[in-house]
Amino acid sequence: MDYKISIENLENSPSKTLDFHFEDKIEGLNCVTPIISDLEVKSLGEFVEVTGNVKGTLKLECDLCLKEFDYPFDFNIDEMYAKNALLDEYGQETELKDGQFITDLNGQDEIDIYDLLYQSVILNLPNKKVCGINCNGDKFLKEENLSDPRLDVFKNIKIQDKKYK
């Protein structure tokens, strides 16, 4: 299926607005469920705004215990694209207002929704992926005997107990 929105079709639509429904797994993401997104794509003169909701479930690996867990997500997106090249001094992305960036289409005649959703999901993942509030990561690592053989030299070091006054 084609996940691209033609700028020409957008401009020729009655209200210069198109609705786009996405329901599929995205390559490169360990999807448990399809990613579902209902988007509104709106032409705003020199810019195109894409807004909507994205939800689904990914399988992630816990940073503490290394076990896989299901991570459900549900967030809104609001992306802006410049139809024509932005000023050369700004480069690929320009900040429009606090926290909102404009992506330069560099004369491309379509917007890749698949790529937009991939990037949005990646950027909305937590920095620290933890399977749960009660994760005993240290216990799991000790049970699995996941130690670094380079550190074995420290196992036989004896430290004298000194008392300081």
pLDDT at 156: 76
pLDDT at 142: 53
- Answering whether pTM is above 0.85, one says no
pLDDT at 149: 74
Question: What are the structural domain ranges in the chain?
Answer: 4-156
SS3 label, residue 9: helix
- Closest listed residue to residue 70, CA positions, set 132, 135, 119: 132
pLDDT at 86: 59
Kindly list the averaged pLDDT for each block of 10 residues, start to end, along the chain of length 165: 87 92 94 96 91 96 91 95 66 52 79 93 93 75 59 74 62
- Closest listed residue to residue 117, CA positions, set 47, 44, 58, 65: 58
pLDDT at 37: 96
